[in-house]
Structure 1
Amino acid sequence: MTAAAVPSVGEAAGTSRVPGGGVAAAAVRRLGASLLVVVVALVVLAVLWVALLRLFDVSTFVGKTPFDVWSYLFADAPPRAVRASSITADAARSQLLGAWLVTLADAAIGFVTGLVVAIVVAALFVVVRPFEFAFMPIAMLLRSVPLVAMAPVLLLIFGQGKLGVATIGAIVVLFPALVNIVLGLRSASPLALDLVKVNGGGELKSLLLVRVPSALPAFFASVRISVPGAIVGAMLAEWLSGFTGLGGILNAYKGRGNFSGVWAIVVVSVVTSIVGYAVAAVVEAAALAAWGPDAGRSTRR
């Protein structure tokens, strides 16, 4: 067989790159689709919100509508029982914004930590096979324990500061991402793996040249599903640890009977999750376009 007939590792793995224009076009297309999805999702959620309040005949004191939330945050003279007279719209927005920024930082720390740990552990699973047999039972044990039951223990161990909050957020992200990334790394083309071995490459070189490109779709799927998980994990940790962030002021609002504030927190957290998911989808489209239309597809010949 001549040298021209031997496929390169990139070709065998189906990861040839495309020009930058194609990457930008893919990102723009995905951005337009994501914006449409965000708008449709918010409209559907708002309709379901109002419909369920009416269906279950929820008291207007507890069940607030999207209009009530808007009035709580922006109206100078909201309808009765929407906002206490001692709280102005500016104060309500300022408190919510400050808490949102805290939760965003907590979620980002947990998201990055969980994803990095998942990548490292998944790589070790593939490169050092005995490591999987040692670590997987521990991972499954931790995964089987409900997070609500585990979170107070973790806060006692790591404290109620950033470290404890980040640990809980990382655990929420870690396990789903780990499973997806391991499956992605193991979906690499046998042809490309054999090609690396024939040319004297070891497991590490196979990992970098073949398995990682093949795992890109699984990795970005993990990123997308981890964004809402990181926010939920951060809010849970804040709810259990004190009165900072969205989870913390949720406790305070509920105790004071500020149900409009509670619904505003729900809206902000849901919108943040949907937008974060959409941003991850745009990044995914650009990254996969950069590796070509067949990125991540195993070639079995």
Structure 2
Amino acid sequence: MTAVITPDPTTVVTPGTPTEESSTSFAGLMLRRVGSAVTTVVLSLVVLTILWISVLNVFNVSKFVGKSPVDVYNYLFTDHPAPGVRPTTMTPEMARSQALTALWKTLFDAGIGFTVGIILALLIASLFVLYKPFEFAFMPIAMLLRSVPLVAMAPVVLLIVGRGTGAIATIGAIVVLFPALVNIVLGLRSTSAEALDVIRVNGGSERTALLKVRVPSALPNFFAAVRISVPGAVVGAMLAEWLSGFVGLGGLLSGYKGVANYTGVWTIVMLSVVASIVLYSIATIVETAVLAKWGPNAGKR
């Protein structure tokens, strides 16, 4: 006699509900991604240090101008400069305080510019997909502005907006907007025709197709834009600070250069590079988490 097992009618299985196995798989994926990101940061810093020392030695850069990683460490953490390096009156505590204060200010300004730029890119890309005439009118202007060097555009922005956080955030948003716009538009248009047909057959509008199909399909392109834009926002903020003399890494860099504090200059450059690498790695971790849950291939690990 064969036993027939019937499912309990009171048990409801909701599609998309994470099981214990999928939760474990997601946790493992995130753990691997975090480990990979940490490894990437460490290897990047090692390679950067090797290149740094090699350039100073190969080109025989003067010790007065070219500072090594040891010089930067001594500048930030000890009172005794490396042999052959002129001592400064600035204590390590003062140097760290100035550098970290400027770093947080630059990251704050870059964060505002990045957020504004990404939001504008999303809105404009969505309008491009929904309204073709808008794209025909705006895209040539966007491509023209993208071709203008940032160094040439920044002084104009400073004249219009003024010197301050608003100008710095505006320049950061400009740096982020155009590369992100191109990537997001490509992502929104990469949706399969079959998926769009399903929406249309069921009476869905273009807005429904945008939210239900196009946006999930565009997530990989969106995060590619984020990874590209994060370091760009930092560079844009520093450039604006440099030109305006405003508080931040760029302003501090300009001030250090003016008083020939080249150890401070190298310290600021090092901090900006490390911050960009760390932010890029954080973006990859967030990308992995979001794509694993809501991306076009979610659940297919």
- TM-score exceeds 0.5: yes
Q: Say if 2:158 is the partner of 1:188.
A: no
Taking a change above 3 Å as real, the CA distance of residues 97 and 21 of structure 1, as seen in their structure-2 partners, is same
Q: Say if 2:225 is the partner of 1:237.
A: no
Taking a change above 3 Å as real, the CA distance of residues 83 and 26 of structure 1, as seen in their structure-2 partners, is farther
Q: In structure 1, what residue type is equivalent to 2:271?
A: V
| Residue pair 1:22, 1:289 contacting (<8 A) in 2 also | no
- Cα distance between partner residues in 2 of 1:175 and 1:20: 37
- Kindly state the Cα deviation for residue 85 of structure 1 after the two structures are TM-superposed: 3.6
Q: Which residue of 2 aligns with 1:142?
A: 145
- Cα distance between partner residues in 2 of 1:214 and 1:243: 41
Structure 1 residues 92-241: aligned runs within 5 Å: 92-241=95-244
- Kindly state the Cα deviation for residue 97 of structure 1 after the two structures are TM-superposed: 0.6
- Cα distance between partner residues in 2 of 1:176 and 1:21: 36
| Residue pair 2:216, 2:295 contacting (<8 A) in 1 also | no
Taking a change above 3 Å as real, the CA distance of residues 167 and 139 of structure 1, as seen in their structure-2 partners, is same
- Cα distance between partner residues in 1 of 2:185 and 2:102: 35
- Kindly state the Cα deviation for residue 242 of structure 1 after the two structures are TM-superposed: 1.2
Q: In structure 2, what residue type is equivalent to 1:134?
A: A
Tell me the secondary structure at the aligned position of residue 152 of structure 2.
Answer: helix
Q: Which residue of 2 aligns with 1:274?
A: 277
Taking a change above 3 Å as real, the CA distance of residues 268 and 240 of structure 1, as seen in their structure-2 partners, is same
Q: Say if 2:255 is the partner of 1:252.
A: yes
Give aligned pairs, total. 282
Q: Which residue of 2 aligns with 1:262?
A: 265
Unaligned runs of 5+ in 2: 1-15
Q: In structure 2, what residue type is equivalent to 1:171?
A: I
Q: Say if 2:56 is the partner of 1:56.
A: no
- Cα distance between partner residues in 2 of 1:98 and 1:68: 21
Q: Which residue of 2 aligns with 1:286?
A: 289
- Kindly state the Cα deviation for residue 101 of structure 1 after the two structures are TM-superposed: 0.7
Q: Say if 2:91 is the partner of 1:88.
A: yes
- Kindly state the Cα deviation for residue 82 of structure 1 after the two structures are TM-superposed: 4.6
* Percent of pairs with identical residues: 62
Whichever of the two has the greater Rg, that structure is 2
Q: In structure 1, what residue type is equivalent to 2:66?
A: G
Between 74-83 and 50-59, the greater mean CA deviation after superposition: 74-83
Structure 1 residues 32-71: aligned runs within 5 Å: 32-71=35-74
Between 227-236 and 77-86, the greater mean CA deviation after superposition: 77-86
- Cα distance between partner residues in 2 of 1:81 and 1:88: 18
Tell me the secondary structure at the aligned position of residue 270 of structure 2.
Answer: helix
Higher relative contact order (CA 8 A, sep 6+): 1
Q: Deviations over 1:49-108 (max 9, x none)?
A: 101111111001100000110001001222366564421000000000110011010000
Between 251-260 and 284-293, the greater mean CA deviation after superposition: 284-293
- Kindly state the Cα deviation for residue 162 of structure 1 after the two structures are TM-superposed: 1.1
Taking a change above 3 Å as real, the CA distance of residues 172 and 141 of structure 1, as seen in their structure-2 partners, is same
Q: In structure 2, what residue type is equivalent to 1:22?
A: S
Tell me the secondary structure at the aligned position of residue 77 of structure 1.
Answer: coil
Q: TM-score, normalised by structure 1?
A: 0.90
Unaligned runs of 5+ in 1: 1-15
Q: Deviations over 1:167-210 (max 9, x none)?
A: 10000001110011000000011111000000000100000000
Tell me the secondary structure at the aligned position of residue 249 of structure 2.
Answer: helix
- Cα distance between partner residues in 1 of 2:17 and 2:289: 11
Q: Which residue of 1 aligns with 2:5?
A: none
- Cα distance between partner residues in 2 of 1:96 and 1:251: 13
- Cα distance between partner residues in 2 of 1:72 and 1:254: 16
Q: Say if 2:24 is the partner of 1:25.
A: no
